[in-house]
Amino acid sequence: MSTVEKEKMVVVVTGAAGKTGGLVAKKLAERSQFTPRAVVRSEQSKGKVTALGVKPEDVFFVDVAAGKSGDYAKAFEGADALVIATSGVPQIVYLSLIKVFWAKLTGQQGVRPEFTWKQGQMPEQVDWLGQKAQVDAAKAAGIKRVVVVGSMGGTQPENFLNTLGNGNILKWKRRAEQYLIESGVPYTIIHPGGLLDEEGGQRQLKVDVDDKMLQRKVRSIPRGDVAELCVQCLNLPEAENRAFDVIALQKEESEGPTNDWKALIDSLAGANCDYNIERQV
C-alpha cells in the first residue's frame, strides 16, 4: 500500500445497498481522499455496491438484524469512520389497500394502509440492537467518527412512523442514538425530514433541532443532499458530537444550493438535539 493510500480516510458504510447508504458509498468512491468499505447482507447486494465504485475486496457481509459486534471486526479493522445507514423497512399489507380504496369511494377520512415487517427484522432488532452492535464494534476498532442517518420525529411518540406495524421505529432509533452518545465515540447524528428520491445539490438546506421543523408545511429533503451532508461531516470539526435535523427549503424560499457546510452547522448557534426529551430506556 502506497503512502497516498495510507493517508486516505477509510470509511465503512453499513446499509450500503440501500438508497441513502448507496449514495454515500458512491460519493465516497468518487473522491480520491476516501477509501470506502461497504457492509451488506447478501451476494446480490455486493453487486449493487461494486457497481457504485466500491472495490469487491472492500465489501463485507453482516446481517444487521442478527449480527453481533464481533461480526463487524473485519470490516471495521483499521477504519477511520463509520456511516450507519441501516434501518428497518416496513412492508405494506396489500389487502389493506382494499379498505383504503373503499374509504376514498365512500368519503371516509383517516383510513390508512397497514404495514408489517419482515420476520426477524423488526425495528427493535435492526434500529436498536443492530445499531448498538455497530457502535460497540466501532468503539472496539478505535473508529474516530460515527455518522448516523436517523429520522425526524423522535420527540413525538405519537408520530405516524411509530405506528407502522406497531414497530415504534423512531423510539428504537432514538434509543440507539442515546447509546452512541453515551459510548464516548465521536458522533454526528443527522435527522432528515421526508426522504425524496431526487438529485441533491439543487436547494438550500436548513438545520434545526428537536423536531421544530416538523411544524413546517414542507419538510422533505432529497436523499442526495443527505448523503452529501454525511460525507461533508466526516471532515468537519464543527459537526463532531452534534445531533440535528435537516430539510431542504423549497426553491422559492431557497437562496441557492448549500455549499458552505461549516456555515450550515454554525447556523445551529450551538444547539443540539435534547435527548432528555422522550428519553428511551
Note if 2 is an active site residue: no
3-state secondary structure labels for all residues of 172-238: HHHHHHHHHHHHCCCEEEEEECEEECCCCCCCCEEEECCCHHHHCCCCEEEHHHHHHHHHHHCCCHH
The rounded distance, in Å, linking the Cα atoms of 241 and 232 is: 14
With H, G, I as helix, E, B as strand and everything else as coil, classify residue 276.
coil
CA distances from 224 to 135, 270, 275 (A): 25, 25, 27
Q: Are 170 and 163 in contact (CB under 8 A)?
A: no
Active-site option among 151, 183, 220, 267? 151
What three-state secondary structure class fits 97?
Answer: helix
Chain CA centroid to CA 97, Å: 29
Pull the grid cell for residue 270: 450551538
Q: Which three cell numbers, joined as nine digits, stand for 10?
A: 477509510
Backbone φ and ψ for 107, nearest 5 degrees, come out as 80, 15
Q: Which helix (H) or strand (E) holds 242?
A: strand 242-248
Question: Which are the contacts of 4, defined by CB distance < 8 A and separation ≥ 6?
Answer: none
In the block, cell 464516548 appears at 184
138 membership: H or E segment, kind and range: helix 131-141
Q: What CA–CA distance (Å, rounded) separates 20 from 90?
A: 16
Tell me the catalytic residues.
Answer: 151
